[in-house]
């Protein structure tokens, strides 16, 4: 783990990290999260019977769109030209699991882009289903893997 916070200058002020001297490398980040809900809500999603429309496709598209806007949403993130973003959704008995992946060939990582994609997909599910289930809980949002850059590869050990 890094010993210092790179977004602070010598006086403790926030700054955007200068990545200009780094060589571009292939980078990847993979993130998971879930939204727990009533079984009846999960069934409505799985059967595409939610009144607002196709929840899974709306969430997938929202996640992809959000990843592309991460530099505008998170104050110290660099604006990036992503090479790929995917958002996969799996409906369980009482939840929807989301896995988002972002890729780039650049000087900085894409962890935040993958996190924004997954969280936005989860929020979209909540928005589209809140009329039938206000008790939904978004949880377990976490980085599973990152590859590339100076710190190399990191993979979460399975819980």
Lookup result for tokens 């409906």: 91
Closest CA to 88 of 97, 80, 77: 97
Give the integer Cα–Cα distance in Å for 86 and 67. 10
> Which of 9, 105, 106, 127 does the annotation list as catalytic?
127
Count of Cβ atoms closer than 10 Å to residue 75 Cβ: 9
Give the integer Cα–Cα distance in Å for 111 and 119. 12
Give the integer Cα–Cα distance in Å for 103 and 125. 24
Please provide residue 144's backbone torsions phi and psi, each rounded to the nearest 5 degrees: -100, -35
**Is 133 assigned a catalytic role?**
no
DSSP 107: S
Closest CA to 141 of 122, 159, 128, 156: 122
Catalytic residues: 127
């Amino acid at each position: 783990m890094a010993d210092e916070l790179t977004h602070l200058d010598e006086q403790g002020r926030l700054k955007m990290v200068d990545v200009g001297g780094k060589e571009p490398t292939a980078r990847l980040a993979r993130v998971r999260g879930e939204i727990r809900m009533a079984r009846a809500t999960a069934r409505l999603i799985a059967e595409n019977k939610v009144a607002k429309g196709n929840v899974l496709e709306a969430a997938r598209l929202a996640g992809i769109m959000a990843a592309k806007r991460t530099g505008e949403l998170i104050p110290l993130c660099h604006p990036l030209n992503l090479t790929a973003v995917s958002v996969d959704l799996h409906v369980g008995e009482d939840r929807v699991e989301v896995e988002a992946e972002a890729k780039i060939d650049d000087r900085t990582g894409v962890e935040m882009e993958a996190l924004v994609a997954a969280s936005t997909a989860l929020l979209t599910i909540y928005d589209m289903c809140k009329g039938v289930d206000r008790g939904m809980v978004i949880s377990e949002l976490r980085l599973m893997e990152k590859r590339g850059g100076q710190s190399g590869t990191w993979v979460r050990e399975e819980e």
